Homo-oligomer: A and B are copies of this chain.
């Protein structure tokens, strides 16, 4: 795992330690992390702070040009909301830890020209598998998967 995916994975583990859903993300601009975050559904009762959204929010109010030179690293395949945010901001490249436990809107993103790299990282897969096995009702609460 490279250092940026490691940072996203560390965010996911922090989320788990807080009793939350273990998905993390970082946004990298010109080789530097400008925003990092993890899912906060449990911690803040949030419907919108997925890992990717939390990272975007923590990056603050950036100009369009910054997003268009950024790479998003996320431990899990991005859901429709997070994929929409990627399209809104024109983020050109997304590195995905794994898509085995959840398949997001990868086809939509590719069809709009976003470059995706799926690592199928064993640590990312096993973190989610363990979480889903332990808290299936939390995992299926919001979208009923």
**Which residues of A are in contact with B by a Cβ distance under 8 Å?**
41, 45-48, 53, 56-57, 59-65, 67, 79-85, 87-90, 105, 108, 140-144
- Contact partners of A79 in chain B: CB under 8 A: 84, 88
Among the listed B46, B67, B87, which residue makes an inter-chain contact with A61, where contact means beta carbons less than 8 Å apart? Answer: B46
This chain: copies in complex? 2
Among the listed B64, B81, B144, which residue makes an inter-chain contact with A81, where contact means beta carbons less than 8 Å apart? Answer: B81
Chain B: which residue is nearest A144 at the CB level? Answer: B64
Smallest CB separation, A90 vs chain B (Å): 7
**By the criterion CB–CB under 8 Å, are B56 and A88 in contact?**
no
Smallest CB separation, A38 vs chain B (Å): 14
A53-B87 Cα distance, complex, nearest whole Å? 16
- Contact partners of A83 in chain B: CB under 8 A: 84
20 contacts between A and B (CB under 8 A): A45-B60, A46-B57, A46-B61, A47-B59, A47-B61, A47-B89, A48-B53, A61-B141, A61-B142, A62-B142, A63-B142, A64-B140, A67-B142, A79-B88, A80-B85, A81-B81, A81-B87, A84-B85, A88-B143, A108-B108
